Amino acid sequence: SRVMELDKMDENDWKYHGEGNKSLVVSHVQHARVLRLLKYSTEDAENSHKTTEQAFHHIQNIVDYSQNVMKPLLGEKFVHNGEAVKLPLDFVRQLSLKVQQERPESRCDKVMDTLSGCALCLPNLTQLSCCCCCREHRPPLCIEIKPKCGFLPSSTHVTKDIKSKVCRFCMHQHFKLANGKWKRLSRYCPLDLFSGNKQRMCLAIMHLMEEPQNNFNIFKGGECIYSCNDDADVLQDLDDLAQHLRPYFLPSGSLISRPQPSKVVLNELIQVIVSALLSSWDCPRSGQPRKTHLSEGRVTCEASLLPRDLLRNGNHGLPKDCVLDKILGTQMLDSLDIEGLNPLFKRVEQYLQKFPKERSRLQIDGPYNQSFLEKVQNCPAEDDGSVEYAVGKVHQYRVAMTAKDCSIMVAIATCGEDDGLDQSVEIQPAKPRFNYSVSILDLDPKPYESVSHQSRLDAKIVNHYLRRTQPNN
Ligand code: ATP
Ligand code: ZN
Ligand code: MG
Ligand code: MG
């Protein structure tokens, strides 16, 4: 049965769910569906004049890219298919008015596209329950993590030594603080999350909780209950979060006398998140899963605030095929770093100036099909001077950018009968069991043109960091 009958769309069936830089998301009040609508900045005349056909093509490109390119790279089980839809314009206009008051002020520099009527329809990943027994039970919890880039570049094209010591996220934090994007530095370092060492991973998630910025959200029954709050009293917020989590993690009254119940509850949640992030569903549970991406090079970030000894000994590598392994492997398709890629981008640009018709054969703007994926996967390892090599590398870089920008959704549901625990006389009640499902979202193609922007941004971030931390050099 179709959830959406396009001729009967009613804005009262939908509510504001969230938004990023590029899109605004509304969720259905009953069915586990979301609509993702594009946004554009008010000065962006080009986008506001897009025709319906152009907008639909753009969204269809997102669907194709996610399905034909990112899904094979990230794993079938993590990526959900979306559908491009054309909505009644009246519905979209009413919806836009309805959600406007819910939008955070910091996002209001852009407006929702109400002209094309096009949107992306997706399953609501914050409402996925993993089995039928969970459904009537407690509402599912869902944790969204935007992990960002999990490795240090080892490319010989890197000119600034600092880039092989301090990760991009940590450098970018200083840049954003200076530019007023955030009021406080985050202590999160992606290299800790991707380390595969449980202790480091737990601390990384704790740091995300303390300063979520736009890298961490928690949903309960589809409602956001924890996210970035710039004026926040962090401790109060964490206490409120613990109140929400208590029924999931401390089901009986027996632990009430333990000190720092908030801390206990938050630690329980973090443990479950780490397990979900390290799970390899393809591997049998027994036996040592194969570890990958245990690179010989540096795997810690000098800016990470974790204890030195933990950093020194704490890189265990990731189990093969866990969600973090899949994302990291795809991010590492950026093997040359922007500094090595930029000359290849220029080679493509020059070639296209001479042969503009080649743009479509080289699939610069899609279509994102099997043949595009082959260009990404079969790019030669050595530069033979060809435009094909250069295009392959640019495609790989763009795919890696998508993987550096995606979010992981970990949906958690309690499973089995823990209701009896209240009567239990056991001193140590059985721990509640959890079912989790893991998905990846926000898999848009990054525009070909963004390469030159990335190149300038990289230089700005690195120079700012060097000035901040080594003012005398
Ligand atoms: P970014 O600025 O990170 O690139 P974006 O503009 O591309 O973001 P998304 O990340 O796709 O937009 O969506 C914005 C937010 O909406 C997400 O962070 C997530 O909280 C929520 N969201 C998006 N898709 C879904 C989904 N399928 N189910 C549930 N929530 C979703
Ligand atoms: Zn770092
Ligand atoms: Mg996003
Ligand atoms: Mg995005």
CATH number at 43 reads: 3.30.200.110
> Angle at Cα 462 formed by Cα 296 and Cα 147, nearest 5°?
60
In a domain? residue 389:
no
At 296 the pLDDT is: 43
Read off the tokens for 296: 């010989």
Residue 162 φ/ψ, nearest 5 degrees: -60, -30
State which residues form the domain around 46.
Answer: 6-124
Other beta carbons less than 10 A from residue 402's beta carbon: 22
For the chain, the C-alpha Rg in angstroms (whole number) is: 23
Does an H or E element contain 168, and which? helix 168-178
- Backbone angle region of 75, left / alpha / beta, with phi > 0 → left and psi within -120 to 50 → alpha: left
Query: Same domain for 171 and 85?
Result: no
In a domain? residue 469:
no
At 86 the pLDDT is: 95
At 120 the pLDDT is: 97
Query: Same domain for 97 and 156?
Result: no
Query: Same domain for 114 and 208?
Result: no
Query: Same domain for 298 and 420?
Result: yes
Sign of CA dihedral 354, 360, 361, 364: positive
Mean pLDDT of the chain: 88
Q: Taking a C-beta distance cutoff of 8 angstroms, is the pair 134, 414 a contact? A: yes
Query: Same domain for 306 and 432?
Result: yes
| Stretches in the chain below the pLDDT threshold 70 | 1-3, 45-49, 129-137, 232, 251-260, 281-298, 313-316, 416-432, 471-473
Q: Among residues of the chain, what percentage have pLDDT more than 90?
A: 70
Single-letter amino acid, residue 83: E
Query: Same domain for 177 and 221?
Result: yes
d(CA 110, ligand 4 centre) in Å? 14
In a domain? residue 358:
no
Quick check: CB of 25 below 6 Å from ligand 1?
Answer: yes
Q: Taking a C-beta distance cutoff of 8 angstroms, is the pair 45, 58 a contact? A: no
Does an H or E element contain 262, and which? helix 261-278
Number of domains in the chain: 2
Query: Same domain for 325 and 269?
Result: yes
Query: Same domain for 221 and 278?
Result: yes
Q: Taking a C-beta distance cutoff of 8 angstroms, is the pair 78, 439 a contact? A: yes
In a domain? residue 51:
yes
Does an H or E element contain 453, and which? helix 450-469
In a domain? residue 182:
yes
At 400 the pLDDT is: 98
DSSP state letter for 369: S
Query: Same domain for 296 and 419?
Result: yes
Which residue's structure tokens are 């898999």? Answer: 443
In a domain? residue 148:
yes
Q: Which of 14, 33, 36 to mutate to test the pocket of ligand 1 (most atoms within 8 A of CB)?
A: 36
In a domain? residue 213:
yes
Query: Same domain for 314 and 172?
Result: yes
Quick check: CB of 145 below 6 Å from ligand 1?
Answer: no
At 34 the pLDDT is: 97
Query: Same domain for 26 and 159?
Result: no
Q: What angle in degrees, to the nearest 10, is found between the helix axes of 234-249 and 261-278?
A: 70
SS3 158: coil
Quick check: CB of 143 below 6 Å from ligand 1?
Answer: no
In a domain? residue 319:
yes
Domain boundary among 92, 124, 156: 124
Side-chain-facing half-sphere of 409: CA atoms under 13 Å: 26
Quick check: CB of 442 below 6 Å from ligand 1?
Answer: yes
H helices of 214-260, in order, are 234-249
Query: Same domain for 250 and 290?
Result: yes
